[in-house]
Amino acid sequence: MLGAIIADGEESARHHILDFLRYHADIAVLRECSDGLATVEATNELNPALLFLAIDMPKLDGFGILSAVESLPTVILMATQPQYAVAAFDAKVLDYLLKPVRKPRFDEALDRARTRIHELGELAKLSTVAAEPNPLVIKVDGRTLFLPRDSVECIKAERDYVLVCADKAEHLVRETLTSISSRLDHRFLRIHRSAIVNLEHVRQVHPLFAGDARLTLASGRQLTLSRTHRQAFEEFVYGFRGQHPPTVPAF
């Protein structure tokens, strides 16, 4: 869902845009503004993804609004005359619509806005990954993915592949568990011959039969901690050897 503000001094013009948006369920109108100062305040407060902005506004015109907003969203500018178009694009607006706005032209501008907002979102994700000092690099279907290590919850063996579970996604990678484990840091621990877990994602440890245990992760995924890896798990998590802490039941 994309949040939007409609800013126009004419009530009928605002209703005109609202009528168009009825056909676009992914757009949520956060506020309607009838003057420039209210538009600046609402945009700074609500941080919308999209701003439908008329140039002719009481108290502060459209260009004044563009200068005063702290962080500009994607802007579709609207005016009764074409002479402001060059200045509008110099101000980095996405599109310039002549009033009265017609629906085909409005829909075209909105499609462009969706594309722009999606691209900005992808760039933000890339910036976040770039800030990760040492992401886990994997290759999936010819693509190279850079996964922040914090997002990787567990890695499971799947025959000649491994399944990397990160956030809500699962990536099948042609690599062995031993190979990928050599590229992991201290947060990751082998808990079974076919599984590695990021210990920061473990939320519960439930004893099973024969010394095994079931680990429940933050996402709800469950993994088996085998008895052969239990001691290493306990030493790492609880910092002790040969006995269980009082608050944790023996396996």
Please give the domain boundaries of the chain with CATH numbers for all domains: 2-130 (3.40.50.2300), 136-238 (2.40.50.1020)
Q: Average pLDDT of 1-25?
A: 93
CB 149 within 8 A of CB 185: yes
Does the structure show a pLDDT above 60 at 233? yes
CB 4 within 8 A of CB 27: yes
pLDDT at 117 over 90: no
Residue 74 pLDDT? 93
pLDDT for the residue numbered 131: 53
pLDDT digits (tens, 9 = 90+) for 32-81: 999 999 999 999 999 899 999 999 999 999 999 999 998 899 999 999 98
Please indicate whether residue 183 or residue 21 has the higher confidence score (pLDDT).
21
Mean pLDDT of 175-187: 87
Judge whether residue 244 has pLDDT over 70: no
Q: Rounded to an integer, what distance in angstroms lies between the CA atom of residue 145 and that of residue 100?
A: 46
Q: Residue 241's pLDDT is what?
A: 38
239 band by pLDDT with thresholds 50, 70 and 90: low
Contacts 24+ apart (CB under 8 A), 170-174: 171/138, 171/140, 171/145, 171/147, 172/140, 173/138, 173/139, 173/140, 174/139
Q: Please give the average per-residue pLDDT across 170-195, as a whole number.
A: 89
Mean pLDDT, range 134-152, rounded to an integer: 86
Predicted confidence (pLDDT) at residue 242 exceeds the cutoff of 50: no
> DSSP letters of 36-64?
HHHHHHHHHHH--SEEEEES--SSS-HHH
pLDDT more than 90, % of the chain: 50
Q: Which of the residue ranges 1-5, 96-100, 157-161, 205-209 has the most confident prediction, judged by mean pLDDT?
A: 96-100
Q: What is the pLDDT of residues 76-113, one digit of tens each?
A: 999 998 888 888 888 889 999 999 999 999 999 999 99
The SS3 call for residue 102 is coil
Residue-averaged pLDDT of the chain:
86
Encoded amino acid at 68, one letter: A
Is 70 exceeded by the pLDDT of residue 250? no
With H, G, I as helix, E, B as strand and everything else as coil, classify residue 239: coil
Flag whether pLDDT at 173 surpasses 80.
Answer: yes
What sections of the chain are H helices per DSSP?
A: 11-21, 36-46, 62-68, 85-90, 103-131, 177-181, 227-238
β-bridge partners, 137: 146
Say if strands 161-166 and 169-173 run parallel, antiparallel, or are unpaired: antiparallel
User: Residue 26 — very low, low, confident or very high, per pLDDT cuts 50/70/90?
Assistant: confident
Compute the distance between CA of residue 70 and CA of residue 55 in angstroms, rounded to an integer.
18
Global pTM? 0.52
